[in-house]
Every structure is written in structure tokens, then in C-alpha cells.
Amino acid sequence: MQRRNLIKAFTLTASIAAMGMTWTVQAAETIKVGILHSLSGTMAISETSLKDMALMTIDEINAKGGVNGKQLEAVVVDPASNWPLFAEKGRQLLTQDKVDVVFGCWTSVSRKSVLPVFEELNGLLFYPVQYEGEEMSPNVFYTGAAPNQQAIPAVEYLMSEDGGAAKRYFLLGTDYVYPRTTNKILRAFLISKGVAEKDIEEVYTPFGHSDYQTIVANIKKFSAGGKTAVISTVNGDSNVPFYKELANQGLEATDVPVVAFSVGEEELRGIDTKPLVGHLAAWNYFQSVENPVNTEFVAKWKAYAKAKNLPGADKAVTNDPMEATYVGINMWAQAVEKAGTTEVDKVREALYGQTFAAPSGYTLTMDKTNHHLHKPVMIGEIQEDGQFSVVWETSSPVRAQPWSPFIEGNDKKPDYAVKSN
Amino acid sequence: MTMPMNQTLLARASAKLGPQASMAIGLLVLAVLLAMPLLHLLPADNALHVSAYSLTLVGKILCYCIVALALDLVWGYAGLLSLGHGLFFALGGYAMGMYLMREAAGDGLPAFMSFLAWTELPWYWYGTSNFLWALCLVVLAPGLLALVFGFFAFRSRIKGVYFSIMTQALTFAGMLLFFRNETGFGGNNGFTNFRTILGFDITSAHTRAVLFLATVVLLVASLYLGWRLARSKFGRVLTALRDAENRLMFCGYDPRGYKLFIWVLSAVLCGLAGALYVPQVGIINPSEMSPTNSIEAAVWVALGGRGTLIGPLLGAGLVNGMKSWFTVAFPEYWLFALGFLFIVVTLFLPKGVIGLLRRKSS
Amino acid sequence: MRATPVPEFMLEPAYDPSGSGRDPIGAGALASKGLNVRHGTILTLEDINVSFDGFKALTNLTLYIGVGELRCIIGPNGAGKTTMMDVITGKTRPDNGVAYFGETLDLTQMSEVEIAQSGIGRKFQKPTVFEALSVFENLELAQKTNKSVWASLRAKLTGEQKDRIDDVLQTIKLDASRQRPAGLLSHGQKQFLEIGMLLVQDPQLLLLDEPVAGMTDAETEFTAELFKSLARKHSLMVVEHDMGFVGSIADHVTVLHQGSVLAEGSLEQVQADERVIEVYLGR
Amino acid sequence: MPTVVTRILLSLLLLLSLAAHAGDAQDFVTANPAKQASLLERWSAAPDAARLPLLEALQQGRVAADSAKTAFIETAGNYQAAEGEAQPLDTPKKLRLNNRLRGLIATAVASHQLLVDDPVLRLAAAQQLQKSAKPAQLQLLNAQVASETDDAVRDALTLALANLQLVDSDLAVRLAAVRLLGETGDPLARTRLETLLDPAVESDPTVRTAAETSLAQVKRKLLIGELLGQAFSGLSLGSILLLAALGLAITFGLLGVINMAHGEMLMLGAYSTYMVQVLFQRFAPEALALYPLVALPVAFFVTAAIGMALERTVIRHLYGRPLETLLATWGISLILIQLVRVIFGAQNVEVANPYWLSGGIQVLPNLVLPYNRIVIIGFALFVVVLTWLLLNKTRLGLNVRAVTQNRNMAACCGVPTGRVDMLAFGLGSGIAGLGGVALSQIGNVGPDLGQSYIIDSFLVVVLGGVGQLAGSVMAAFGLGIANKILEPQIGAVLGKILILALIILFIQKRPQGLFALKGRVID
């Protein structure tokens, strides 16, 4: 008896492990596409909608006949906001499920976690979120913004007459790599524009911080010293308490505008925006952009959300990372068509210089060398209805500088992708 | 508490079955684990080839098994539920990570430092390019922290829930500290992109096989250590401590020393597990210190059956195996399954899976 | 009376790590262990005060126990009996007062473990044994030996130690249950086991809190015999409500009331005392 | 064809009317942003009472233009020509403003409001001008001070004027202005005075000395404001911690359940608030402002019901095994989080402050106390008192205390322990739900809401002493205030770490918490 039970226990564990190893969905003649976004844990708040957007785009491509005559088949996994699990799931997608491309990741740490796996196995990852730069892997295509495509234009706008001609800058962020790096770049940029050290203040809060009383009081104090703008790299959930405190302490956008790099339409869904009118965000796309491509894109998304009965479908919104996901999948499909194969090396070549008429109203180009998109930069003001109205935009798409010239030593980095090892 | 809990499953099994049978099962599992890295060296088209994915997955689970075992030593035997063992695990991992980052950086600074324009290494990084010193750190960092924390905690007789909450606060503080970029451990990104270990390519099949073997050896060694401890008078004193600390003191035993010894030992085991985990999964970052991870480790132990040596291993294997499977099979619903599992186990299997097996066998 | 200078060699702690030089049942232990009892007093409590959040549990308690004495403590509930034991064993620190073990060991400055190691053993009111361990293992842990972590890691029972445990098992009549988990014993058996644990611990002063509660008459009688045989070689302090039992063992009785000593003397003397009668009957 | 003709005719008419009388609205609508800015500055310097409606419409974002660039003002969905009788050619589009223009509009509105009859409005206008008056308005202000009849308004105007007079050519005027500024506690005055200390800016040494004295005065007043602000934020943070922890003080402190699902009860309370708000929006939009009041009982009963259900199904099997309740409730918390995520989505939902919880009261020039925080402090105290009364003055409370102290004895005395457990757990959960309503008014409402409070809640309860309501109150406020004292000194991140370290040290000193009962320990 004892023996049999022991054996049972061990075989149970072993078989469960084995199931994990060999879990594949067999289907003939499809191209498999991996989707690596957290559906549970802290990042689910942001990443769930990217998964849905990816599925919608894949459906759309399939409805048009697929790629190279084959249907796309999505393999969705949940890395559960657990960074080592990203690497494990990435490896699983590439080696067990044998997907040809992966769309996924939100946080930099998740990308950094899977990067060695993609480089080792020569996989292909499309990363759709704005980030701090300082990376250029041949196995990753970055469809979000590099700092010069978001942060620097935003500050230039704040310096302009229309942006309020700010003289002092309060750099507020959550204490982690993206805000630190972005603020480092911004500080160098501000100083190069003649802003004095004493007119720049950098403040960080811990992850998940929810009490902004002291910080808002400090912003007020700081702003008494001259026209001030706040540049916020506050992460996700902390934005709501920050903006609520800002509004309730009577700090208005006309006095001290806040420009945020991590607040988009999705985030505003959770905030009462009436007191926030006039605060700013910098992105490469806003749902409110008016052009036929975007109108169709937004309508398609709303219809999809309703059809799939996604939570909160009646209030479905699009945002920048969703657009970047949409663009990324479409560009990849075009490149596969062009290359005639899904082989990574050939698709990579085909992607260079690939163009796509994006919902942002611009025809975006994948750079010929640096794996980043040329993107327009837009500054939007928060409106009462939770949308942004674009108050400023670049005249044409901007080429990314993943190696920011404002960081020492980057001038020696090559302007093409090389494996990190 | 009507059953003696200090007897190991193996001991009980051998009492009933004779040592050969349980020995045989153990050896079988061991043989499979030892064969896996060798099979990994076979060419990929061989039918018996074990993929890198399977090897790293099982390797990771084995590291978790060591953590579960270490936690069981303090919880199951000494009655100290730590909700902060992730901290020790992560510290060991960070110590190894420092070495790997130095190795990857060559003569320069680790990548994350150079892009923050740091010009020199913080003092605590000195010597980390030396593998032996890194190994010392793997033991010393968690060991010393556990020693200091344990010394004060046990001196003031903090126990039960208080102890659990304090360890949770400790790991939470550690997480916040390591999250900061300025702390000098790569902030929230932690360490990734390792290249070589002792000069060997970290992605090569041979390196993977050796790391896996090292994990198996460490697991077997910790099992043996646990087994010896549980059978020694020391083990009986711990059990006595768990059940009636005051009585034990009036017998003339100083519980502080006993608690401190097992506590530090457990922390060091976790650190070692962390050190083996990092090169296998390829990343270490502060989220390993999040209280959630440590609670999960307690769940492994409870699920498998605490106060036994095999139970925690079963628990860690089951939960992580299920996690790997569910996150693919039912990505949106796996938390329900996990949640129900915890409830069901605590309600119906108070002695864990091991208890269930025992009950069936008797 | 402690004014006499203490010779150097007598300042050694009573605790003897090697466990050698111990005779089987503890006879003559007092002389050989360096505890300074030259004035014949093994325990001195003077003017002890303990209060909990304003409630005075002990008030100016003064009590002396002689070497080899068997003292019974009686008193109504809340008289401070258990608190007094807590003070002696270091569990509760007195607000002020003097507590000496022998002539030299200041109990107020020692930890519970040090006190236990120096030779004071205690049986709790509620029988407390290590329920997950077997009867034999309970005795093994209690046995007088080196109790440091390192020793326990390498500890192996010697034949002599085993014999000693076997003796005690015989004495407390648990020989047949030696491998049973202590948690499965009856209440009375647990009482005996705990007494057995005190025996193998071999203390000079035994504090016994209601040792015969839950025992049958025969067991009580047997316990009385056992205690009487222990007295003189050891000092015993027994807290008990069972007057029959007290009568059968005590040569000296102390009555506690409201945290201080109300009366002291032989059982007959005490029972005749007006104040005692009033406390027990008249409130 | 006719439409084209009419359109051409209309535009011709329009051009004519423009040429004849280009009204202010029309000027503004047709100008580019730079021109608009200079228009506003001009209007601020020379206010005209007739222009006020236009400016107010601009401030409220009601000015629009049709495709022919004719200005219209929107009122409740109807567009009326700002000047003349024109009808819109198509739906007019709202004018786009930026922050610079909004600021200038505010100044312009204030300048115009100086002319109105209502002294309250004039006072507000003067206060606005203290912040934003431009040198070009010097003359206007001088004239207004001279003609102003209301004392309070005149004082406010004098102050606004003083800001501009700091660079007056007349030494006496400068000196008077500097002295006047010294009497304010305005942080802007501090900056203005500081610039005067530079000999390059202010050549006269007497003015510089006066500026120094005034500056010291201002700084002192500012310091008072800052200290009060710190004290308030400490109290506020403390009240939030208290509300988060109070439910746990019952489920964990009294019942001994290590309730890891406590955070999720907070979360469910917050989601109940959200649901109530949605229902109000749909069925009773006119009473929307009252939704938090209705949400309180709803949240209480929803979370209490869930809590009782959990107690009956899971937790009652686990009394006396505290560490196992940890595991089971952890499982419950995972399920609840994912359940909410599946039902409401992973994103945060919007819970808006009603008007009476928005904004704040300006106590000092540099101290605004937000209404939501004031209300939450009061609410926290109210809940504490309520809980105390429930536990100490009711039969249920007596039973709860009896059961938690000695379950068997209570059962023997005829206390229905099962029912009491259920009710007590329900009470703890319900109080957590009330906490959730309060939290929804200051932070975000999402599935992970509870996770961010659970550690803090446990620390509060443990620090206060398990089972001690008063201890929890002390601990919450102590932590809140300590946190707010540390934060400005060493930053939020290190502050939080230091607080955790201090708690660990404190527990070493007092293992039973702040309010431990001393006494004989029964073993």
C-alpha cells in the first residue's frame, strides 16, 4: 500500500511536470504566434488589454486570408507578472510551442528577463511599450517610444510659450529603472538648455505608494519659486492617488501643469478627470486623433470588446501601447509576406524599412538599422471625458535614439542591433 | 497533536515496509534526476533528449524544493513560521548574480551601472568577480542577516504570528531597498543577461547540465542533513520547543541557541538554493523578495505536509508543476484553481498530501 | 545573614556540564555541586512585590526554604502561589525584593534557563509534557546533561543514562508506555511523566504546582511516598489544595493570602489559626 | 446651387460685419494663440464690464466657432452667436485652449470682476490678482484701490498692487510694498522678496534691509503652515491606516484568524462604492453627490455577508490553528482578486469624489486641507467609536469577548459560539468594507487594492498589541505621523524602509505590542 501511494505521488508530480513540458496545441498548417502578457498579478491591469488587442489583430489578419495563405494561431500564456516566469514562458513558446514570433512584455524587467532567451534561441519579440532605451537587440523590435520620442519633446513643449514657458522642473517618479533613466536624460537635456541645477528637483516614491500629501505640498512649495512644470514618471496604480491629491489640494494645470509619460486613456478610466483638465501626457498616439484609419481602428476595437464581452466593454478605449501592438503585428505580417517565410533572419531583413499606415495618422517606418519605429510625438491635454486633446505634435515622425546622446558613453554605441552576448 | 510529527516519512515508511522499498523509490527518483542532465546532452533530435526548457523548469522547481525544505526545518520542526524566506533566497541569488554580472562585464562595470554613469563599484561589490568570494557571500549574506535578526527576535521571545509578521516586514523592507536604483543592485530590473560562469558559456548544454546536477546534489545533501537533524537529539529538542517552549526552558535548555541555529541554517540553505536558481533561470530581481513569494513557499510546505522531510518537496513540486501547466492551459483561471487548492488542503488535508498518503496506507 | 564573605570556589555555578560525579538518585548532590547552602537555607525570598497593571499579586512576600525541607504552600485562589513560582523560576520579574537560591545565586538577575540549569526544577499546574515525543524521549530531553546546541547535535545516550531513564520509568510506572507519544497519555500519567522528568533533571529544589490533581487515590498515595523519599536529598516546595495530601507529606506548611504569608507552621498549627480559618471559610 | 450662393453671400455679409464691427469674441476666435494671448493681456489691463460674459464663457470652455470662424457661445447644448444674430453653419467646434491661455483668461476674468457690484466676487478677483497681476495692470490696480469701497477688497487689492510696486521707481512706494508683503504668509511673497536681496535688483540698502525683515516674517509664517500641514498629513495617513486595519483588529486581533483576505474585504468595499455610484449615475443622477453615504451601509452589508459566508464555509473549521487560517485565507484572497478581475476587468474603475469631498479649504496661504481627508479623519474616529461601543456596550460585544477569551467556557455558559464567531467575523469584514469606502475616495479602485494595504494593516495591529483596539488606534496614528515626519527628511522610499526597520526594533523591545496586557501567563 505504502509503496503504491508513494509511487502514485511521484508519478503525479512527474506527469504534471511533463504536461507542462509538452503542452502544445496541434493544428495543421498554421503560423503560431506567441502572446506573452501578464493576465494575473500586478501587471494584469495594463497587459490584459494588449493581449486582447493582439488577438483582435490576429483575427483581423486571419479574416483577410492570413499570412502567406496560412492562418495565424495565437498561443496565449500567462507569465503572471512574475519576471523569471517570463523567461520560462518565453522559452516554452519558442521551443515547445515553436511559435514564429512573440508579441509581449510591458515592463522593462520582463523584457530584460526574456531577452537572453530570445537571443539564445534566435526568436523574434515585438515590444510595444515606451521605455527608457539603452537597448537594441537584433531579436527584438521596439514599437513603443524611445526617450527622444516621448520625454524630450514633452519637455520642449513645456519650455515653449504655449506650454507655459516653465522655468522650474519637478521630476517625480516611482523609484525604479525607467523613471531614473528618463530623469537622468531629462536632467542632462534641461541643463543643456540652460536650466539651473537648483531649478530641477528629483523626487522618487516607493512602488505602490499611495500617500502623496507631502509630495504635493513640496510641489507647491517648489512652484512658488517660479513657473513650474511637473514631469511625472509615476507608475501605474500610484497615479490615481497622486492626481486626486493634486486636485484636492487645489493645484491646477494652469498653475503647475503635470506631464505624464505613463498615463494614457486606460489609466484615466480609473480617475475622475474633471479636476485634471489641462494636465498633459506625451505619447505617439491618442484615441482622439482624427483620421479615417483611427476612426476605423477605434470602432473595430469597441466592436471586438463588445463581441468578446470583455469586462468594461461599454467603456473600451484604445491607447498608445495598444496601437503599438496593432502596428507591430501588422508590420510583422507584411514582412512575412515579403520574405515569403517566417524564418526569423529573413523576416528581420524584411522588416527593415517596412511601412504601415498607423492609426496615429502617420505612415510609420521601421528603421533600417535600429529596430525602432519612426514615430510622431503628440502632447495631449486631459479632457473632462477622459480623452486627450492634442495640443502639439511633431510635423513628421521622429527617428528613435535608443542610445540617448544625453548619457555618457552612448556616442560610442553602434547604431545597429548587436547581440548583447 | 496526537501523532508524533518528528518522524520522517522515510523513517515511518521504513518502519512499515522495510528500508529497501522506500530506498528504492528514493533512488529511482534520484536516478531520473541524475539522468536528466545527461539526456540533455544528447542531440536535440534524439527521442530521449531532454530539452533546455524542461531542464531549467525542473531545475527551478528543485531550487524551490530546497527552499521548501529549509522552511520546513524552521516551521515544521521548530514551529517558527517565516514569511520572509524569499529574502534569504534572493540574497543568495543576488550574491551569485553579482559574480555573474562581473563575469559578464569583464573589466568594465556591470551594464546597469554604466548606463547610470556610475564610475566605480560600490564597496560591497569589491571582490565579487572572484567566484570563491561570491560563494562566501552566498552563505554569509543570508546567514548574517538571519543571525542578527534571529538573535534579537529570539532574545525577545518573539514567536508565533508576531514572528511571522516581523519576517514579512523584513522581506518587504528588503524588497523596497533593492527596488531603489541607488542601492546598487540594478533596481527593479535586477540582474539579467548573464554570459559565463567560471568562463563557461551559461547557455551551453554542459553548463546547464552541471548546474542541474549541482542542484540535485544540494537537494540530496539538504535532505540528508534534515534527516540527520530530525533523528538527532537536536531534532527532538526542536520538536519539544515547538510544542512546549516553557517546559523546555525549565528543563534547562536555552531555546535561543536552538532556534538561532536552525534559523540560520535554514537561511543559508535558502541562500544556496537562490545561488543555484539564478544562473538557471537567468534573472534575479527584487520581486523575489515580495512577501507574496514567501507566503507561497509556506503554502508549498503546508500542502506537502509540514514536519516531514518529503512533504515540502512534494508540495513545491506539485504547486509549481501545476502553475507551469495552468498558466498555459487556463491562463485566466489558474488563480482560482490555486486558491481552491489552498483552501481544500487546509480544510481537508491538515497534514498535507503526505498525511493523505499515510492515512490511505493505514 | 548573607554578610559572611563567600569563598571563591563556592561562586561556581551549580550547573555541571559533564554530568559526571552525579550519583543515581541524587543523594549527596547538594554537597558536591558547589551551591552555597552553608546556612541551611536553599531558597530565600524577602519583601517580594509583584504587580500587574495595578493589581498587586505579591505584597512583601518573605519566605525561606531550608535544605532538604518539604514545604507545602496552601492558600485560596488568587493568593499568589503560581506568581511566586513564576518569580522563583524567573518567568516573572519582581518589582522589588530579594530572591536568592542558596547564598549566592540572585534569582532576579538570572534567566529562566540559568535558573533551571542551576538546579531548580518546576512542574506546572497543568501537566506540560512534549506531546509529540515519546515518553522515553521526554525523559531523555529532561535528563541532566550538557544542554547546549552543539552537544545535542552529537549527543548519544550512554548505557548509564539509559539505565537511569529506565529506573525512573519503573518508578513512575510508565515502563510499558515508554514508546507511546506523550500526548496519548492520560492526565494522571502525564502528571507522573512530568514528575519523572523532574527526577531525571535532578534539581536541588523542586517546585511542584498541584502535582496530584487528577490522580486516583492510589496514585496520590504513591506520589506522597515518592515525595517523602525525595525530601532531605532534595528540597521540595509543593503547592496543593488537597489537604489530605498535604497532611500526609508536609512537616511545614505556609499559607499565602493576598500575596503575602498569612501563617506558617505545622499543618495542625496552621489549621488552628484564626485568620486562616477566616480566609478559607469566613469571607 | 442655391446653397453655394447663400454661403457666399453669408460669408460676404460676415466679412462686411467684421470690417464694420469686429467684436471681441470675433477677434479672439480668429486670432492665433500668440495673438489671443496678447488680446487677453490687453483686456486685463483695460477691463470692460461688457466683456465679462465672453471671458466667463471662455473660462468655462463654452466658446466655439463654426466652419466660417464665427464665434458662438454654448449654453446647455444651444449655440448663440457671441455677437450679432448669426446662426451656425454647422455644429460649432469648441475653441482649443492651452494652459497659458487658461492662465491669462483667469487673470482677465479677475480684472473684469473688479468692476462688478458683488464684493464677494471682487474679493476673489483681487485674490486671484495677487497671484497673477501683470505689470501692465499697475494703472488699473491703482485706480481700483482708490475707488474701492469695501475694506477687505481694498486690502486684497493693495496687496496685489504691492507685488507690482516692488519695482516701482519711488523708493517710498517700494519700501511700503516690501513691508506690506512681510505681513502675508504667501509663498509667492517669499520668492519675490528673495529677489530683492540681490543688490543688482534692488539698489537701495534700506529696501534690502526691509526686505530681509519681511522675508524673515514670511518665512516664519510659512514654517507654521508647513508644520501644520505635516501634522495634518500625518493624521490623515494615520486615519487611513486605521480604517484599513480596524477590520483586521477584529478578525485577527480578537478571533485570531490570520486573515490574509482582509485586504480583499477592503477591495470589495471599494467596489461596492463603485457599484453604488454606477447605480446612482444610471437611476438617480440628480442625487449623485449622496452616493458615498448610501455606499457605506451597502459596503458594510456586502462585505459582512461575504465575510460571514466565508466564516461558515471555511474559517470555522480552522479555529485554534492560526497559521493554517493564513493559508486558507490566502487562497480566498487569490480567488476574490481574480473574481473581481474577471467581472470588472483588470483595470482600475473610476470612483469620483462628489463635490462635497472635492477640493479643500484654504487655511493658510500655503496650507490647503482637502475635504476628503478631513472627512476621512472624522469617519475613522466615528468607526472606532462605533466599534468600541459595539464591543463593549452590547450583548454581541460581550459574547465576542467571552468567546475569544475562552471558547469552551463561553460555550458552557450558553453562548452560541458558532453564531458569535460568524457575527464577529462579519463585523470585522463589514468594518473593512467601510474602510474600503473611505479608501475609494483617496486612491485607486482596482483588483489589487487590498494587496497594497495588507502588510501595513498587519503591522498596525501587531504594533498596537493583538486584541487591543486602543493599541491599533495609537499604532495607526503613530505610524502615520512618524512616516510624515520622516518623509520630508529622507524621502519616501528610505522613509518607508526606515519605518519598517523601526517597527522590527520596537517589537523586539515590546514583543506584545504597545498595549499588551501584563499578567500571569497561563501555560
D408 — contact with chain C (CB < 8 Å)?
A: no
D509 — contact with chain B (CB < 8 Å)?
A: yes
Decide if C52 and D523 are in contact by the 8 Å CB cutoff: no
Q: Which of C133, C149, C154 sits opposite B239 (nearest CB)?
A: C133
Q: Where are the beta strands (DSSP E) in A135-257?
A: 140-142, 168-174, 200-205, 228-233
- Residue C5 DSSP label: P
Q: Please tell me the distance from the alpha carbon of residue C148 to that of residue B254, in angstroms, as a whole number.
A: 8
- Kindly report the pTM of this predicted structure: 0.86
Instruction: Look at residue C10 in the predicted model and tell me its pLDDT.
Output: 34
Q: What is the mean pLDDT of residues D206-219?
A: 87
Residue with cell 520630508: D488
Q: Residue C207 CA to chain centroid, in angstroms?
A: 2
Q: Which residue of B has its CA nearest to C134?
A: B4
Decide if D519 and C126 are in contact by the 8 Å CB cutoff: no
Q: Which of C52, C124, C128 sits opposite D519 (nearest CB)?
A: C52
Contact between residue D365 and residue D185 where contact means Cβ atoms under 8 Å apart: yes
Q: Which residue of B has its CA nearest to C117?
A: B252
| Number of C–D residue contacts, CB under 8 Å | 16
B256 — contact with chain A (CB < 8 Å)?
A: no
Q: Which three cell numbers stand for residue B304?
A: 506537502
Q: What is the mean pLDDT of residues B151-162?
A: 84
pLDDT averaged over chain D? 84
B180 — contact with chain D (CB < 8 Å)?
A: yes
Q: Å from A402 to nearest chain D CA?
A: 29
Report yes or no on A255 lying in a domain.
Answer: yes
Contact between residue A300 and residue A60 where contact means Cβ atoms under 8 Å apart: yes
Q: Å from C236 to nearest chain D CA?
A: 21
Instruction: Kindly give the pairing relationship between strand A140-142 and strand C96-101.
Output: unpaired
> Which amino acid, B48?
L
Instruction: Look at residue A375 in the predicted model and tell me its pLDDT.
Output: 95
Interface of D with B in 57-96 (CB under 8 A): none
Q: Which residue of B has its CA nearest to C85?
A: B250
Q: Which of D191, D230, D373 sits opposite A225 (nearest CB)?
A: D191
Interface of B with D in 279-298 (CB under 8 A): 291-292, 295, 298
Task: For residue D522, list chain C residues with Cβ-Cβ distance below 8 A.
Answer: 126
Q: Which three cell numbers stand for residue D372?
A: 476628503
Task: Give C73-84 pLDDT, tens digit per residue.
Answer: 888 877 888 888
Q: Please tell me the distance from the alpha carbon of residue A395 to that of residue A379, in angstroms, as a whole number.
A: 12
The domain that contains A191 carries what CATH number? 3.40.50.2300
B359 — contact with chain D (CB < 8 Å)?
A: no
**Element (H or E) spanning B283, and its range?**
strand B283-284
Residues written for chain B: 362
Instruction: Look at residue A386 in the predicted model and tell me its pLDDT.
Output: 87
Is residue A77 located within the same domain as residue A95? yes
Position with higher pLDDT, D10 vs B139: B139
D511 — contact with chain B (CB < 8 Å)?
A: yes
List the beta bridge partners of residue A174: A205
Decide if B176 and D331 are in contact by the 8 Å CB cutoff: no
B357 — contact with chain A (CB < 8 Å)?
A: yes
Decide if C53 and D517 are in contact by the 8 Å CB cutoff: yes
Task: Give B184-235 pLDDT, tens digit per residue.
Answer: 888 888 898 898 999 899 888 999 999 999 999 999 999 999 999 988 999 9
Domain termination residue (choose one: A113, A145, A177): A145
Decide if A134 and B115 are in contact by the 8 Å CB cutoff: yes
Decide if D102 and A253 are in contact by the 8 Å CB cutoff: yes
Domain termination residue (choose one: A192, A225, A260): A260
Decide if D324 and B168 are in contact by the 8 Å CB cutoff: no
Interface of B with D in 90-119 (CB under 8 A): none
**Closest C-alpha to A322, from A292, A376, A283, A380:** A283
pLDDT tier, A129 (very low <50, low <70, confident <90, very high otherwise): very high
Q: Which three cell numbers stand for residue B239?
A: 520538536
Task: For residue A245, list chain D residues with Cβ-Cβ distance below 8 A.
Answer: 370, 442
Decide if D188 and A224 are in contact by the 8 Å CB cutoff: yes
**Closest C-alpha to A317, from A267, A273, A276, A355:** A267
Instruction: Look at residue A388 in the predicted model and tell me its pLDDT.
Output: 93
Burial of residue A323 (CB within 10 Å: 0-12, 13-18, 19+) is: buried
Report yes or no on A97 lying in a domain.
Answer: yes
Name the residue ranges covered by the structural domains of chain D: 18-102, 114-203, 231-509
Report yes or no on A286 lying in a domain.
Answer: no
Q: Which residues, 6 or more positions from B100, have their beta carbon under 8 angstroms from its beta carbon? A: B191, B194, B195, B197, B202, B278, B279
Decide if A175 and B334 are in contact by the 8 Å CB cutoff: no
What phi-psi label fits residue D83: left (phi over 0), alpha (psi between -120 and 50 degrees) or beta? beta
Distances in Å between the Cα of A263 and the Cα atoms of A180, A270, D26, D107 are: 17, 11, 36, 30
Q: Please tell me the distance from the alpha carbon of residue A335 to that of residue A126, in angstroms, as a whole number.
A: 13
Please count the other Cβ atoms lying within 10 Å of the Cβ belonging to residue D4: 8
- Number of structural domains found in chain A: 2
Phi, psi of D461 (to 5 degrees): -65, -45
Instruction: Look at residue A413 in the predicted model and tell me its pLDDT.
Output: 82
| Number of B–C residue contacts, CB under 8 Å | 96
Q: Which residues, 6 or more positions from B99, have their beta carbon under 8 angstroms from its beta carbon? A: B128, B129, B130, B131, B134, B197
D520 — contact with chain C (CB < 8 Å)?
A: yes
Instruction: Look at residue B21 in the predicted model and tell me its pLDDT.
Output: 67
Interface of D with B in 257-286 (CB under 8 A): 258, 260
B173 — contact with chain D (CB < 8 Å)?
A: yes
Task: Give B100-115 pLDDT, tens digit per residue.
Answer: 999 988 888 887 787 6
Domain termination residue (choose one: A110, A145, A180): A145
Subunits close to C (at least 3 CB pairs below 8 A):
B, D
Residue with cell 545561488: B275
- Residue D314 DSSP label: T
For A228, the domain range is 151-260
Mutate to test the interface with B, among D330, D458, D468, D514 (most CBs of B within 10 A): D330
Q: Which residue of D has its CA nearest to C53?
A: D518
The correct CATH number of D231-509 out of 3.30.930, 1.10.3470, 3.30.2010, 3.30.300 is 1.10.3470
pLDDT averaged over chain A? 87
Lowest mean pLDDT among B288-292, C265-269, D465-469: D465-469
Task: Give D229-240 pLDDT, tens digit per residue.
Answer: 989 999 999 999
Contact between residue D472 and residue D245 where contact means Cβ atoms under 8 Å apart: yes
Q: Where are the beta strands (DSSP E) in D28-160?
A: 63-65, 71-75, 78-81, 93-94
| Number of A–B residue contacts, CB under 8 Å | 174
**Closest C-alpha to D365, from A250, A215, A278, A199:** A250
Q: Please tell me the distance from the alpha carbon of residue B281 to that of residue A171, in angstroms, as a whole number.
A: 35
ipTM value > 0.95? no
Q: Can you list the pairs that C111-116 forms with residues at least 24 positions away whose Cβ atoms lie under 8 Å?
A: C111/B254, C112/B246, C112/B249, C112/B250, C113/B249, C113/B252, C113/B253, C113/B254, C113/B255, C114/C13, C114/C90, C115/C88, C115/C89, C115/C90, C116/B249, C116/B250, C116/B251, C116/B252, C116/C89, C116/C201, C116/C203
Is residue A84 located within the same domain as residue A138? yes
Is residue A106 located within the same domain as residue A199? no
pLDDT averaged over chain C? 80
Is residue A114 located within the same domain as residue A181? no
Q: Which residue of D has its CA nearest to B179?
A: D493
Give all domains of chain C, ordered by start, each with its CATH number. 8-282 (3.40.50.300)
Q: Which three cell numbers stand for residue B347?
A: 480544510
Is residue A53 located within the same domain as residue A70? yes
Task: For residue B257, list chain C residues with Cβ-Cβ distance below 8 A.
Answer: 148-149
Q: Which three cell numbers stand for residue D458?
A: 498587519
Task: Give A163-211 pLDDT, tens digit per residue.
Answer: 888 999 999 998 888 888 899 899 999 999 999 999 999 999 887 788 8
Decide if B339 and D335 are in contact by the 8 Å CB cutoff: yes
Phi, psi of C63 (to 5 degrees): -160, 140
pLDDT tier, C4 (very low <50, low <70, confident <90, very high otherwise): very low
Is residue A71 located within the same domain as residue A169? no
Mutate to test the interface with D, among C92, C207, C210 (most CBs of D within 10 A): C92
Report yes or no on A231 lying in a domain.
Answer: yes
Q: Where are the beta strands (DSSP E) in chain C?
A: 41-52, 55-66, 70-74, 96-101, 105-106, 120-123, 205-209, 235-239, 252-257, 260-265
Task: For residue A20, list chain B residues with Cβ-Cβ distance below 8 A.
Answer: 57, 321, 324-325, 328
Instruction: Look at residue C22 in the predicted model and tell me its pLDDT.
Output: 34
Task: Give B11-39 pLDDT, tens digit per residue.
Answer: 444 444 445 666 788 888 899 899 899 88
Is residue A140 located within the same domain as residue A34? yes
Task: For residue A171, list chain B residues with Cβ-Cβ distance below 8 A.
Answer: none
Q: Which residues, 6 or more positions from D343, have their beta carbon under 8 angstroms from its beta carbon? A: A311
Task: For residue B244, list chain D residues with Cβ-Cβ distance below 8 A.
Answer: 523
Position with higher pLDDT, C141 vs D253: C141
Task: For residue D517, list chain C residues with Cβ-Cβ distance below 8 A.
Answer: 53
Q: What is the mean pLDDT of residues B55-83?
A: 93
Mutate to test the interface with A, among D38, D188, D271, D348 (most CBs of A within 10 A): D348
Is residue A36 located within the same domain as residue A130? yes
Q: Taking 70 as the threshold, does the pLDDT of residue A6 lie above it?
A: no
Task: For residue C124, list chain D residues with Cβ-Cβ distance below 8 A.
Answer: 523
Q: Å from D456 to nearest chain B CA?
A: 9
Using a threshold of 3 CB pairs under 8 A, tell whether chains A and C touch.
Answer: no
Q: Å from B316 to nearest chain D CA?
A: 15
Instruction: Look at residue A329 in the predicted model and tell me its pLDDT.
Output: 96
Q: Is the dihedral of CA C149, C154, C156, C161 positive or negative?
A: negative
Q: Which of D517, D520, D523 sits opposite C83 (nearest CB)?
A: D520
Q: Å from B246 to nearest chain C CA?
A: 9
C126 — contact with chain D (CB < 8 Å)?
A: yes
3-state secondary structure of C258: coil
Instruction: Look at residue A31 in the predicted model and tell me its pLDDT.
Output: 94
Query: Which strands, in side-by-side order, build the sheet including A355-357?
Result: A355-357, A363-366, A373-374
